[in-house]
């Protein structure tokens, strides 16, 4: 942590004096009557007195090959094992076990971005066949076996869940990299996970264009090779089966068209491999405070139990519902709440290939109307975008949601109200689900049939999850005190990651070191999990998440580490120093801005801005592209030479830069401020009155670089 106590105090009092309680809204009686969970006794069952056994209720939703003997093994904290002794297969639980009852039911309805291309409906029976055939290919053609890692770099296409479930069938650990990430970013993750097989796609549609995706596989393989990992096989799915649609040639002896290979596996069946509950199911990389992304490793039994339970009770999915989680499977939201959770409760899920506003902002509502979607799940950034570009569109379409989710970033109360009144037509409940890549599933939210909604607050801890807000010294911040602090989870739960792949020390250091007082303790109570978020708790127990407390920028619900951005900027020859900070953005929440100083002999005229933007898009991906690159003579620094990101963030966001007298070069602050703010004023980019909690987050942000 880099923020100082002084800073935190300022932030807390700022927030406290501007804190406004929002109204509380009860769910409609019609929703409650049909809810999967409407029995208030559930809160007693999930009371801490019953910890950890209460999580049996989630595990019992699955089919186990062998029962567990120990619900929670705490012998090696903070590496907790759930359902020890139990055995199961995730693919069996998501597919096979539904066949007897529902083989003709749609598991997925895939909607292509081009509106005139027909949907593809995949029934549970077809999913079963395709998963088996692809699993046979992975096993017999690629030689993969339980425990091996495979990297997937796929867009939103039904072949992605097919590939994930085929891996799971074999006990192979998949590591899906978000399709929008660059080939280089994919290559780094191949190295970290030591994958020798890459599964990808030739192309996909995004905003009306058929993008070449295969080109990224070539970059990824080259990048992996630099890192010392050789990819032996690249499996390429075709966007239009039978018609290779990429200008990038296939590499003889390395690249294979999946549908060609599958001809040899038609009709093949693969017995699901019975895996220990604690066997890893997948890796999901996420940004942290260093340049190297963390491979969050999730378990088979604990993870699957947790996402099944939360899908049933929080997403309120019944088999007859049509559920649409409008997120990308390449993020944790898609893994937990498009693939593993919904399939384990026999859902019908809509998958959509493209962008929300293509070809116009009525698109999501047309899809909802046509397919009878009644559960809708998306992120504030999408809601803001749809609100801005088509505020009156929802009422033109005859769809009815019973339930809507928001996830990924704090939602502004006025945006929440538009979601509720206009998108939800005042009929739907909203669950604001606060969680993370690390947590596997929801950790702060409302049980929709039992707990009221409050705009802008996620709610209390999810069932069985006991969050606590701690100050810098580890003291509890009382609910209703009006003070913010570091929100932690005081108890283990089955959905939580097992470790950072290949780096257990970093796992302990990142998430537990700050608040663990006794590293030898075997008592789980001594190991609160530090989420990295700042939060406040109202007197009624509801949490309001105010943003990251570490050097992570949440851009449109996607996490980017400042160090990752800075390292990418530093690959440009001219750049001497770089600092990345978050700037407020009306639609995306935050966007990165990069401040650089140049090496001698270079000048702004060398298209520094273009070079840095291109480098970042190339190295990380277009989502990381900064909105501005500011070139300064020098950057504000402490006497020990550290760049003061906090000061720069204040400049970008038109906030008070605070006391700069202790800096090594205080005069630079004013120069930088004048340059940046006058340019923004000219361009009409002055942020609106920033909410105080946003200001506080930006004030706390990465004190030093």
Residues near ligand PRX (CB under 6 A), total: 23
Phi, psi torsion values for 415, nearest 5 degrees: -70, -40
Position 458 contacts ligand PRX (CB under 6 A): yes
Applying CB under 6 A, among 123, 286, 348, 378 the residue interacting with ligand PRX is: 286
Position 332 contacts ligand PRX (CB under 6 A): yes
Position 378 contacts ligand PRX (CB under 6 A): no
Position 161 contacts ligand PRX (CB under 6 A): no
The region of 1-9, 557-565, 633-641, 665-673 touching ligand PRX under the rule CB under 6 A is 557-565
Q: Which of 298, 294, 303, 350 minimizes the C-alpha distance to 327? A: 350
The region of 114-122, 469-477, 551-559, 560-568 touching ligand PRX under the rule CB under 6 A is 551-559
Nearer CB in complex with ligand PRX: 272/460: 460
Position 333 contacts ligand PRX (CB under 6 A): yes
Nearer CB in complex with ligand PRX: 495/557: 557
Q: Which of 669, 555, 645 minimizes the C-alpha distance to 594? A: 645
Position 434 contacts ligand PRX (CB under 6 A): yes
x/- map, 663-692, ligand PRX, by CB under 6 A: ------------------------------
Nearer CB in complex with ligand PRX: 349/378: 378
List the end-to-end C-alpha distance of the chain, in Å, as a whole number. Answer: 11
Nearer CB in complex with ligand PRX: 81/333: 333
Using an 8 Å Cβ cutoff, are 98 and 87 in contact?
no
Nearer CB in complex with ligand PRX: 339/598: 339
Position 467 contacts ligand PRX (CB under 6 A): no
Position 407 contacts ligand PRX (CB under 6 A): yes
Position 409 contacts ligand PRX (CB under 6 A): yes
Nearer CB in complex with ligand PRX: 278/409: 409
Applying CB under 6 A, among 196, 206, 559, 700 the residue interacting with ligand PRX is: 559
Nearer CB in complex with ligand PRX: 239/700: 700
Applying CB under 6 A, among 159, 278, 432, 703 the residue interacting with ligand PRX is: 432
Q: How far is the CB of 381 from ligand PRX (least distance, A)?
A: 11
How many angstroms from the chain centroid is the CA of residue 116?
A: 31
Distance CA 253, CA 176 (A): 23
Position 590 contacts ligand PRX (CB under 6 A): no
Applying CB under 6 A, among 272, 276, 288, 408 the residue interacting with ligand PRX is: 408
SS3 174: strand
What six digits make up the tokens of 41? 């006794």
What six digits make up the tokens of 47? 């009371």
Distance CA 132, CA 623 (A): 35
Exposure string of 180-218, with b = 16+ CB inside 10 Å and e = fewer, is bbbbbbbbbbbbbbbbbbbbbbbbbbbeeebbebbbbbb
Distance CA 162, CA 146 (A): 17
Position 436 contacts ligand PRX (CB under 6 A): yes
Distance CA 655, CA 647 (A): 9
Burial class from Cβ neighbours inside 10 Å (0-12, 13-18, 19+) for residue 240 reads exposed
CA distances from 376 to 24, 325, 367, 603 (A): 21, 6, 11, 50
Distance CA 319, CA 342 (A): 9
Applying CB under 6 A, among 89, 289, 437, 695 the residue interacting with ligand PRX is: 437
Nearer CB in complex with ligand PRX: 272/557: 557
Q: State whether the Cα torsion 482-488-489-491 is positive or negative.
A: negative
The region of 80-88, 151-159, 199-207, 528-536 touching ligand PRX under the rule CB under 6 A is 528-536
Using an 8 Å Cβ cutoff, are 386 and 364 in contact?
yes
Position 435 contacts ligand PRX (CB under 6 A): yes
The region of 246-254, 366-374, 386-394, 555-563 touching ligand PRX under the rule CB under 6 A is 555-563
SS3 333: helix
Applying CB under 6 A, among 491, 554, 567, 695 the residue interacting with ligand PRX is: 554
Nearer CB in complex with ligand PRX: 262/327: 327
Residue spans of alpha helices (H) in 236-390: 258-262, 301-313, 332-334, 341-344, 363-371, 380-389
Nearer CB in complex with ligand PRX: 270/332: 332
Nearer CB in complex with ligand PRX: 337/399: 337
Axis crossing angle, helix 124-140 with helix 159-170, rounded to the nearest 10 = 60
Which single residue is written with the structure tokens 């590591």?
175
Position 485 contacts ligand PRX (CB under 6 A): no
Distance CA 536, CA 481 (A): 8
Position 529 contacts ligand PRX (CB under 6 A): no
Q: How far is the CB of 534 from ligand PRX (least distance, A)?
A: 9
Applying CB under 6 A, among 154, 443, 545, 580 the residue interacting with ligand PRX is: 545
Position 410 contacts ligand PRX (CB under 6 A): yes
CA distances from 168 to 171, 331, 437, 532 (A): 5, 17, 19, 30
Find residue 535's DSSP bridge partners: 485, 545
Nearer CB in complex with ligand PRX: 138/489: 489
Cβ of 7: how many Cβ atoms within 10 Å? Answer: 17
Position 533 contacts ligand PRX (CB under 6 A): yes
3-state secondary structure 411-435: CCHHHHHHHHHHHCCCCCEEEEEEC
Q: How far is the CB of 293 from ligand PRX (least distance, A)?
A: 11
The region of 15-23, 242-250, 484-492, 531-539 touching ligand PRX under the rule CB under 6 A is 531-539
Which single residue is written with the structure tokens 């005859």?
398
Nearer CB in complex with ligand PRX: 11/71: 11
Cβ of 634: how many Cβ atoms within 10 Å? Answer: 15
Residues that bind ligand PRX in the complex, under the rule CB under 6 A: 286, 332-333, 407-410, 432-437, 458, 531-533, 545, 548, 554, 557-559
């Amino acid at each position: 942590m880099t923020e100082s106590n002084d800073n935190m105090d300022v932030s807390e009092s700022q927030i406290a004096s501007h804190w406004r309680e929002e109204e509380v809204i009860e769910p409609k009686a019609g929703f409650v009557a049909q809810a999967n969970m409407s029995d208030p006794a559930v809160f007693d069952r999930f009371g801490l007195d019953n910890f950890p056994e209460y999580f049996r209720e989630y595990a019992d939703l699955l089919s186990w090959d062998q029962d567990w003997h120990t619900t929670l093994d705490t012998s090696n904290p903070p590496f907790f094992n759930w359902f020890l002794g139990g055995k199961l297969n995730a693919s069996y639980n998501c597919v096979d076990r539904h066949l007897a009852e529902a083989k003709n039911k749609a598991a997925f309805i895939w909607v292509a971005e081009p509106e005139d291309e027909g949907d593809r409906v995949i029934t549970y029976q077809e999913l079963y066949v395709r998963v088996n055939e692809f699993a046979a290919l992975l096993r017999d053609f690629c030689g993969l076996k339980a425990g091996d890692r495979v990297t997937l770099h796929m867009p939103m296409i039904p072949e992605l869940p097919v590939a994930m479930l085929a891996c799971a069938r074999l006990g192979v650990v998949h590591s899906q990299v978000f399709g929008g990430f660059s080939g280089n970013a994919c290559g780094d993750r191949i190295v970290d996970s030591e994958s020798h097989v890459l599964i990808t796609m030739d192309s996909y549609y995004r905003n009306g264009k058929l993008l070449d995706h295969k080109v990224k596989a070539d970059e990824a393989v080259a990048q992996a090779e630099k890192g010392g990992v050789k990819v032996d096989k690249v499996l390429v799915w075709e966007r239009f089966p039978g018609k290779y649609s990429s200008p990038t040639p296939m590499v003889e002896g390395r690249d294979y068209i999946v549908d060609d290979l599958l001809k040899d596996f038609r009709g093949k069946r693969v017995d699901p491999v019975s895996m220990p509950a604690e066997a890893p199911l997948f890796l999901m990389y996420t940004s942290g405070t260093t340049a190297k992304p963390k491979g969050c490793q999730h378990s088979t039994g604990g993870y699957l139990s947790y996402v099944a339970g939360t899908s049933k009770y929080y997403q309120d999915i019944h088999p007859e519902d049509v559920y649409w989680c409008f997120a990308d499977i390449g993020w944790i939201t898609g893994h937990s709440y498009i693939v593993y959770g919904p399939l384990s409760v026999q859902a019908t899920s809509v998958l959509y290939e493209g962008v929300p506003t293509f070809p116009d902002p009525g698109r999501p509502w047309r899809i909802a109307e046509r397919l009878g979607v009644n559960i809708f799940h998306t992120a504030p950034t999408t809601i803001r975008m749809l609100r801005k570009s088509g505020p009156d569109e929802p009422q033109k379409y005859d769809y009815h949601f019973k339930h809507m989710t928001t996830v990924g970033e704090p939602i502004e109360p006025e945006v929440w109200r538009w979601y509720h009144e206009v998108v939800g037509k005042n009929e739907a409940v909203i669950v604001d689900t606060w969680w993370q890549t690390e947590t596997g599933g929801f950790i702060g939210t409302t049980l929709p049939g039992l707990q009221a909604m409050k705009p802008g607050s996620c709610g209390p801890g999810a069932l069985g999850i006991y969050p606590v807000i701690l100050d810098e010294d580890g003291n509890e911040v009382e609910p209703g005190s009006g003070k913010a602090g570091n929100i932690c989870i005081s108890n283990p739960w089955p959905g939580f990651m097992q470790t950072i792949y290949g780096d257990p020390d970093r796992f302990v250091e990142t998430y537990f070191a700050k608040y663990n007082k006794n590293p030898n303790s075997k008592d789980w109570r001594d190991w609160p999990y530090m989420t990295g978020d700042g939060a406040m708790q109202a007197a009624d127990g509801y949490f309001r998440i105010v943003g990251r407390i570490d050097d992570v920028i949440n851009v449109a619900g996607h996490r980017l580490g400042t160090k990752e951005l800075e390292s990418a900027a530093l690959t440009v020859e001219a750049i001497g120093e770089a600092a990345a900070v978050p700037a407020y953005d009306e639609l995306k929440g935050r966007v990165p801005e990069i401040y650089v100083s140049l090496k001698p002999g270079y000048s702004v005229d060398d298209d520094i801005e273009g070079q840095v933007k291109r480098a970042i898009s190339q190295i990380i991906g277009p989502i990381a592209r900064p909105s501005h690159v500011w070139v300064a003579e020098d950057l504000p620094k402490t006497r020990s030479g550290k760049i003061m990101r906090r000061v720069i963030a204040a400049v970008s966001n038109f906030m008070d830069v605070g006391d700069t007298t202790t800096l090594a070069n205080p005069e630079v602050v004013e120069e930088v401020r004048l340059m940046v703010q006058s340019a923004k004023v000219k361009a009409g980019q002055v942020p609106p009155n920033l909410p105080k909690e946003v200001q506080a987050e930006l004030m706390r942000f990465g004190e030093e670089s």
